[in-house]
A and B are shown apart, each in its own frame.
Chain A
Amino acid sequence: DVKVTQSSRYLVKRTGEKVFLECVQDMDHENMFWYRQDPGLGLRLIYFSYDVKMKEKGDIPEGYSVSREKKERFSLILESASTNQTSMYLCASSLVRINSPLHFGNGTRLTVT
């Protein structure tokens, strides 16, 4: 079974801090994604990556960046955390097939104070 592991379940950071959210998958998937989930808004795509060192902006990339130095690891970076980035962050991975399902981690609930 595919396992997508997010390093932290809960995280509390202060405004202006640089925040790293880490995600690791163990099934050699090419694609990796970062979503944020907010009540009433569903899941919105922040960034995704088709391969090592490749990244593409999603629908809401502002205030975020990503890093993919190894195939299994995809990091989301908040350069200067703000309170409006308080949210649930979900990482997912998939094979590089058009209808390949996403496999999700359990999420990181980030609170910025």
Chain B
Amino acid sequence: AQSVTQLGSHVSVSEGALVLLRCNYSSSVPPYLFWYVQYPNQGLQLLLKYTTGATLVKGINGFEAEFKKSETSFHLTKPSAHMSDAAEYFCAVSAYTDKLIFGTGTRLQVFP
């Protein structure tokens, strides 16, 4: 069975600061990993995904994530936060199925 743990339900950063959102997964087989973002009053949209190959994955809006098998982690980063990055972020895992298992989410606040 697969599971996802997102550490920190709320993260606050200043504009221009590094964004780091943590995600650890559990999977009995090689996982597929995803980050989704949800802006207020909207559905989720895909930020980036890892399937196979390069472990550093670049996504939209300057975000990237690195798959670290030894640490079972897939943390999301952005070098410089922007006010428009304020949203809720969800990590998700799947393994050889179409079903995604989501984490509980991390709400990112960006202060001027």
Contact = CB atoms under 8 A, between A and B. Distances in A.
Nearest to B41: A106
Interface residues of B, number: 24
B9 A43 contact: no
Instruction: Please classify the interface of chain B as helix (H, G, I), strand (E, B), loop, or mixed, using the class held by over half of its residues.
Output: loop
Interface stretch (A14-22, A60-68, A70-78, A95-103): A95-103
A26 B31 CA distance: 29
Contacts of B104: 40-42
B90 A94 contact: no
Nearest to A91: B43
Contacts of B51: 99
Contacts of A41: 104
Contacts, number: 55
Which size bracket describes the interface of A in this complex? 20 to 34
A42 B90 contact: yes
A107 B43 contact: yes
Interface in B80-112: 90, 94, 96-100, 102-105
Given A43-B44, A104-B43, 19 more contacts: A40-B104, A42-B6, A43-B90, A43-B102, A45-B100, A94-B98, A96-B98, A98-B97, A98-B98, A99-B32, A99-B51, A99-B94, A101-B34, A101-B49, A102-B36, A102-B46, A102-B100, A104-B45, A106-B41
Interface of B: 6, 9, 32, 34, 36, 41-46, 49, 51, 90, 94, 96-100, 102-105
Interface of A: 4, 31, 35, 40-45, 48, 50, 58, 90, 92, 94, 96-102, 104-107
